[in-house]
């Protein structure tokens, strides 16, 4: 089969709607500047007309599996149909509401609308047997363990001899024909066995003298091929005509099917995310990863290794969805793999890796290409004896400035290549000249303004006193440059309820002075001198103020608050001081006082699962967007600490935080004793973070493709400049690329990210990250270098952006549809021919279905009355700025068996799959997802473990009220504490520990995080979802 794929037949050759598809459109159809993908009205992939049996609804219901009946599927350029269609009807992009189903069972969670099952167009009904066939699967593009032998590339006939590229490894899952086909007499344990093959067709990683080709349809009556363990049959044969019906665009469970008794599928036979993570750790953990090769796939984010920059940016800074781009846009449209990079420009580098070098060219400033303005980097080619250089981004020939001239060696490389970071490293910094500064003046060091809500509830709960006490010690830890003795950051203080109180804390004063601004409609800053001060100089006055604030408002009974004027005041103060900075706002209630930005409670459960649900994620008044724009223009970043005990409209209040690159923290029903440690830890981390201020980011690419869409905690005034009032080490921007021409396989695809920012000491800097990717005209190369974790990050952000403008049901459908498309295209163009009932997954994407299913089950995409709207808006906002490591853990939590701790060694027990089947009554398990942390205890947990962790004699004595473990001097307790600290140290948010006892009420909350199981809110289990995707793939291929 040719690897070029089929060019003529839709659905592959045309532009497909979908995330990372290639249609025009987030938002209204005529919005030309948005390059998104949801809901393109002109897309060629048409959903069925009313009355047509084909459904593109991914979550709709089961598609038939197995050989299609001859002659029923026709393709035409405008219509993709499956079955008879009514002539003259226009195709629509998305289906209208389906007629209520009379066949499928209605599950309580999404029963507002059941979908009809697909009519059974296939003579043999599908079974849902999934059996893992590749036992010793290996990743063949790197690492030890690849078997050296003559291999057959999947794109060539078997007779071709000689050294060749290995085929892309793939996971293959058998779904044999259904119940009408009698099983052969000598069936081995329900698996059709396999004939041996000549050695030339060797597949990777399958041991044994006569290698078996797992891609050939297995014949009955032969002994099994070597390297395969016979596996018990899983699902029993299904009755003809019984089809799964997944109501409301969500696959439910398989439990309620008619027909004979279903056997449960063995989850060990389907791809395991934990196995993928552990395999990568085993092959690449602890090693040095050198970035000296274009287009190489880095270790997974979950693997610890030492990264050595040798010409391409470290994967800590940039990860891509694939490290080999398709060479043409037609190929890209065919595969529908999003081409994107997740850029975390200020990512933390561990102490054993080299920090970024700073290059200073004095008053001439950085060297740049005259045409495209790309910065000097390792991709530039020096010519004419070193007097000129060719820019690899736009091919322009530039003169080398005299001061920068150097001779070339015998291979055309400059003699000083290794002495200059900008010639030999993927990431480095330039000192920026005045041309790069606001108003051509050097910037001042940034300022931090602490703004405390002193309304009745906050004072009464003890929160105001807690904040003031903490600031006394925290202000000594303000971030500073390594070579400086003290921080250059200045601080200011504001309190507020219905009015604003500014404080003068000038060092010459004996007592702080308070100034009240009661005109909140037109906020002004009542003082300049003495508002922003150096903490070390004004220490006594500031400490005095922090002692006084809780007493000053102790008798308040003011419960109404303002919010937008607080941000406005902070921004005006920074603007007046001509510096960038951060506002730390501590706020607890819906701002209902008469003032700009006043909000009402609009939390309406009736909007769920309607077209108006999207309004719940949009701000309710326009003033917040205008405020955000002003904040970004003035370099004012807003960090918001929320302490709500009811609805506070996070979608509106968090908007300025999101657009300014700030961080949102939320502590529901804050209790001083239980929640203080979490809040104070978050506050300390945030104040001490290394941050770039007043930042602007530009992503340049070599010819043939360009950056078209950006996702993150960012603001965009135009289509190219990503503006961030601040950007810290945890914030990532996901950038999508599209072709505008053919890419050259020799020169590859080059990306340069430049971030211009002000450092914490007030210096203007340019941080440059460069990465080179390969290009290929073979789809197999693209699939082979995909990174599932980066794809998950992209899908999550683009879906979470899309819900602002589209119904959730549509967004969910597109996600599944695109997943099926990517896998179907691989099957069609890269895999060896095999039975239709085989589910074939590319090795690099074999766990993508798990992650997509986890994303579909996230509370953001699930409209359920039990889930608070604020919680959904909060999660949406957090994910939009996450990097790859954070989305990986967030969507697939880490589950560790604590009862099997190795108390003598340093090792952490291997993680388990997130499923209830992995829990045991006699065990204790730790689950963490980056926001929450649970310690689950089985009813039969050994008493010595309970004594060691809690210092109580038995399970019954454990209190679930505690939010931390007692400090005990025993190996169990010390080991678990060190594991908790290790997990915590890598994550931006402090996770509050929740203790869960088996069979007690809080267990319901814990179970939502067992993401491979069916969700209590109606999301499919991993097994069901895999069946659903497989049916969708079969539908696409038939």
Of 330, 819, 870, 852, nearest to 620 by C-alpha is 870
Residue 683: pLDDT over 50: yes
Give the range among 153-157, 287-291, 337-341 with minimum mean pLDDT.
153-157
Structure tokens at 425: 């490293």
Residues 194-206 have a mean pLDDT of 33
Instruction: Check: CB of residue 145 under 8 Å from CB of residue 138.
Output: yes
Instruction: Check: CB of residue 212 under 8 Å from CB of residue 225.
Output: yes
Residue-level pLDDT at 222: 37
pLDDT tier at 907, thresholds 50, 70, 90: confident
Instruction: Check: CB of residue 497 under 8 Å from CB of residue 560.
Output: yes
| Separation of alpha carbons 850 and 270, rounded Å | 10
Residue 120: pLDDT over 80: no
The residue with greater pLDDT, 179 or 283, is: 283
Distances (CA, A) of 688 to 30, 41, 417, 691, 1016: 45, 48, 36, 9, 39
| Separation of alpha carbons 362 and 383, rounded Å | 25
Give the range among 130-134, 749-753, 793-797, 899-903 with minimum mean pLDDT.
130-134
Distances (CA, A) of 780 to 22, 51, 523: 20, 38, 60
The H or E element spanning position 694 is: strand 691-701
The H or E element spanning position 637 is: strand 636-642
Residue-level pLDDT at 483: 85
Other CB atoms within 10 Å distance of the CB of residue 367: 19
Residues 639-648 have a mean pLDDT of 97
Angle at alpha carbon of residue 425, lines to 420 and 426, rounded to 5°: 145
pLDDT tier at 962, thresholds 50, 70, 90: confident
Of 349, 578, 563, nearest to 447 by C-alpha is 578
Residue-level pLDDT at 174: 57
Other CB atoms within 10 Å distance of the CB of residue 241: 12
Residues 31-54 have a mean pLDDT of 38
Residue 853: pLDDT over 50: yes
What mean pLDDT value characterizes the chain?
80
| Separation of alpha carbons 494 and 992, rounded Å | 29
| Separation of alpha carbons 553 and 498, rounded Å | 13
Residue 997: pLDDT over 90: yes
Helices H / strands E in the chain, number of each = 21, 34
pLDDT tier at 908, thresholds 50, 70, 90: confident
pLDDT tier at 75, thresholds 50, 70, 90: very low
User: Cα-flanking dihedrals φ and ψ of residue 890, to 5°?
Assistant: -65, -40
pLDDT tier at 1002, thresholds 50, 70, 90: confident
pLDDT tier at 676, thresholds 50, 70, 90: very high
Instruction: Check: CB of residue 321 under 8 Å from CB of residue 302.
Output: no
Residue 504 forms beta bridges with which residues? 513
Distances (CA, A) of 824 to 16, 680, 846: 13, 49, 13
Residue 107: pLDDT over 90: no
Residue 354: pLDDT over 90: yes
Residue-level pLDDT at 651: 97
Instruction: Check: CB of residue 107 under 8 Å from CB of residue 247.
Output: yes
Distances (CA, A) of 990 to 532, 874, 981: 29, 15, 10
| Separation of alpha carbons 636 and 999, rounded Å | 48
Of 438, 368, 385, 877, nearest to 619 by C-alpha is 877
The residue with greater pLDDT, 168 or 900, is: 900
CA dihedral sign of residues 309, 723, 398, 400: negative
Name the 3-class secondary structure at 67.
coil
Percent of the chain whose predicted confidence (pLDDT) is above 70: 75
In DSSP notation, 466-526 reads HHHHHHHHHGGG----TT-SS---EEEEEEESSSEEEEE--TT-SS-EEEEE---SS---S
Give the range among 193-207, 657-671, 976-990 with minimum mean pLDDT.
193-207
Residue 76: pLDDT over 90: no
Structure tokens at 875: 């999660």
Write the pLDDT tens digit of every residue in 741-772. 999 999 999 999 999 999 999 999 999 999 99
Residue 577: pLDDT over 90: yes
Structure tokens at 201: 């067709």
Percent of the chain whose predicted confidence (pLDDT) is above 90: 69
Write the pLDDT tens digit of every residue in 796-835. 999 999 999 999 999 999 999 999 999 999 999 999 888 8
The residue with greater pLDDT, 92 or 296, is: 296
Residue-level pLDDT at 605: 92
Residue-level pLDDT at 897: 96
Structure tokens at 795: 């899908």
Write the pLDDT tens digit of every residue in 525-567. 998 899 999 999 999 999 999 999 999 999 999 999 999 999 9
Instruction: Check: CB of residue 236 under 8 Å from CB of residue 261.
Output: yes
User: Cα-flanking dihedrals φ and ψ of residue 846, to 5°?
Assistant: -70, -20
In DSSP notation, 357-376 reads PEE--GGG-S-B-TTT-PBP
pTM of model > 0.85: no
| Separation of alpha carbons 996 and 895, rounded Å | 14
Other CB atoms within 10 Å distance of the CB of residue 952: 14
Residue-level pLDDT at 36: 38
Residues 844-861 have a mean pLDDT of 96
Residue-level pLDDT at 1035: 93
The residue with greater pLDDT, 14 or 576, is: 576
In DSSP notation, 198-256 reads -GGGPPTT--SSS---TTSPPPTTSPPPTT-------SPPPPTT---B-GGGS---STT
Instruction: Check: CB of residue 307 under 8 Å from CB of residue 319.
Output: no
Write the pLDDT tens digit of every residue in 269-326. 899 999 999 999 999 999 999 999 999 999 999 999 999 999 999 999 999 999 999 9
Buried b (16+ CB within 10 A) or exposed e, 573-598: bbbebebbbbbbbbbbbbbbbebbbb
The residue with greater pLDDT, 76 or 578, is: 578
Residues 868-897 have a mean pLDDT of 97
């Amino acid at each position: 089969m040719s690897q070029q794929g089929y060019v003529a037949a839709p659905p592959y050759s045309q532009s497909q709607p979908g995330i990372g598809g290639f249609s025009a459109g987030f938002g209204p159809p005529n919005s030309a500047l948005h390059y998104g993908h949801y809901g393109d009205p002109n897309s060629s992939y048409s959903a069925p007309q009313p009355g047509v049996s084909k459904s593109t609804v991914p979550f709709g219901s089961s598609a038939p599996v197995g050989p299609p009946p001859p002659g029923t599927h026709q393709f035409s350029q405008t219509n993709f149909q499956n079955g008879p269609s009514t002539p003259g009807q226009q195709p629509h992009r998305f289906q209208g509401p389906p007629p209520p189903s009379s066949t499928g069972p209605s599950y309580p969670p999404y029963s507002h609308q059941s979908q009809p099952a697909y009519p059974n167009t296939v003579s043999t009904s599908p079974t849902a047997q999934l059996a893992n066939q590749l036992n010793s699967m290996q990743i063949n593009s790197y690492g030890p363990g690849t078997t050296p032998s003559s291999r057959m590339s999947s794109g060539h006939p078997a007779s071709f001899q000689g050294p060749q590229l290995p085929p892309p490894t793939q996971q293959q899952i058998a779904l044999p024909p259904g119940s009408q086909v009698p099983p052969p007499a000598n069936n081995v344990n329900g698996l059709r066995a396999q004939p041996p093959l000549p050695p030339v067709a060797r597949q990777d990683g399958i041991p044994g003298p006569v290698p078996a080709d797992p891609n050939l349809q297995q014949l009955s009556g032969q002994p099994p091929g070597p390297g395969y363990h016979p596996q018990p049959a899983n699902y029993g044969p299904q009755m003809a005509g019984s089809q799964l019906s997944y109501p409301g665009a969500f696959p439910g469970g398989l439990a309620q099917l008619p027909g004979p008794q279903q056997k449960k599928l063995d989850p060990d036979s389907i791809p395991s995310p934990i196995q993928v993570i552990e395999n990568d750790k085993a092959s690449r953990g602890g090693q040095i990863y050198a970035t000296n090769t274009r287009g190489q796939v880095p270790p997974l984010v979950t693997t610890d290794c030492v990264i050595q920059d040798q010409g391409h940016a470290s994967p800590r800074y940039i990860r891509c969805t694939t490290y080999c781009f398709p060479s043409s846009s037609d190929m890209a449209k065919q595969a529908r793999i999003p081409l994107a990079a997740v850029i975390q420009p200020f990512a933390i580098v561990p102490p054993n890796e080299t920090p970024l070098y700073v290059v200073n060219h004095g008053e001439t400033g950085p060297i740049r290409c005259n045409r495209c303005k790309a910065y000097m980097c390792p991709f530039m080619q020096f010519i004419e004896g070193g007097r000129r250089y060719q820019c690899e981004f736009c091919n322009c020939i530039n003169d080398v400035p005299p001061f920068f001239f150097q001779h070339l060696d015998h291979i055309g490389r400059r003699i000083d290549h290794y002495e200059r970071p900008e010639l030999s490293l993927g990431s480095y910094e330039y000192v920026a000249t005045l041309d790069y500064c606001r108003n051509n003046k050097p910037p001042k060091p940034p300022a931090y303004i602490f703004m405390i809500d002193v309304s009745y509830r906050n004072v009464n709960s003890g929160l105001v006193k807690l904040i003031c006490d903490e600031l006394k010690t925290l202000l000594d830890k303000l971030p500073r440059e390594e070579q400086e003795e003290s921080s250059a950051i200045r601080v200011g203080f504001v309190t507020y309820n219905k009015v604003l109180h500014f404080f003068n804390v000038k060092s010459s004063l004996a007592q702080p002075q308070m100034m009240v601004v009661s005109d909140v409609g037109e906020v002004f800053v009542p003082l300049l001198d003495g508002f922003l001060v150096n903490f070390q100089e004004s220490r006594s006055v500031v400490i005095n103020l922090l002692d006084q604030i809780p007493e000053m408002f102790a008798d308040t009974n003011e419960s109404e608050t303002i919010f937008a004027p607080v941000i406005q005041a902070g921004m005006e103060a920074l603007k007046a001081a001509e510096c960038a900075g951060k506002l730390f706002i501590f706020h607890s209630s819906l701002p209902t006082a008469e003032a700009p930005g006043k909000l009402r409670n609009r939390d309406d459960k009736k909007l769920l699962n309607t077209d108006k649900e999207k309004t719940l994620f949009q701000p309710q008044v326009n003033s917040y967007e205008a405020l955000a724009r002003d904040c970004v223009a003035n370099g004012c970043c807003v960090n918001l600490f929320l302490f709500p005990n009811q609805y506070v409209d996070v979608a509106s209040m968090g908007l300025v935080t999101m657009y300014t690159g700030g961080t949102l923290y939320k502590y529901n029903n804050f209790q001083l004793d239980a929640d203080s440690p979490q809040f104070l830890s978050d506050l300390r981390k945030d104040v001490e973070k290394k941050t770039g201020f007043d930042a602007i980011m530009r992503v340049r690419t070599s010819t043939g493709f360009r950056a078209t869409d950006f996702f993150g905690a960012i603001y965009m005034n135009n289509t190219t400049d990503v503006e961030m009032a601040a950007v810290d080490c945890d914030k990532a921007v996901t950038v999508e690329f599209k072709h505008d021409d053919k890419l050259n396989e020799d020169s590859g695809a080059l990306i340069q990210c430049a971030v211009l920012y002000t450092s914490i000491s007030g210096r203007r800097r340019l941080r440059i990250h460069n990465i080179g990717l390969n290009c290929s005209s073979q789809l197999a190369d693209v699939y082979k270098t995909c990174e599932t974790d980066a794809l998950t990050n992209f899908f999550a952000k683009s879906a979470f952006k899309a819900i602002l403008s589209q119904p959730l049901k549509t967004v969910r459908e597109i996600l599944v549809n695109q997943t099926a498309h990517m896998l179907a295209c691989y099957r069609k163009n890269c895999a060896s021919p095999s039975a239709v009932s085989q589910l074939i997954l590319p090795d690099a994407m074999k766990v993508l279905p798990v992650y997509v299913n986890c994303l579909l089950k996230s509370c953001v995409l699930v409209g359920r009355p039990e889930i608070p709207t604020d919680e959904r808006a909060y999660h949406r906002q957090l994910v939009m700025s996450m990097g790859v490591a954070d989305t990986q853990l967030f969507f697939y939590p880490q589950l560790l068996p604590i009862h099997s701790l190795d108390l003598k060694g340093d090792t952490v027990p291997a993680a388990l799959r997130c499923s209830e089947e992995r829990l045991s009554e006699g065990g204790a398990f730790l689950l963490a997802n980056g926001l929450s942390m649970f310690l689950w205890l089985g009813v039969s947990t050994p008493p010595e473990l309970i004594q060691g962790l809690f210092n109580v004699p038995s399970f019954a004595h454990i209190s679930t009220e505690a939010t931390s473990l007692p400090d005990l001097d025993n190996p169990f307790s010390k080991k678990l504490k060190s594991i908790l600290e290790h997990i915590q140290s890598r994550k931006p948010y402090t996770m509050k520990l929740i203790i869960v006892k088996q069979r007690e009420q809080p267990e319901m909350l814990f179970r939502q995080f067992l993401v491979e199981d069916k969700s209590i809110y109606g999301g499919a289990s991993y097994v069901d979802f895999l069946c659903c995707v497989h049916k969708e793939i079969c539908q696409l291929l038939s």
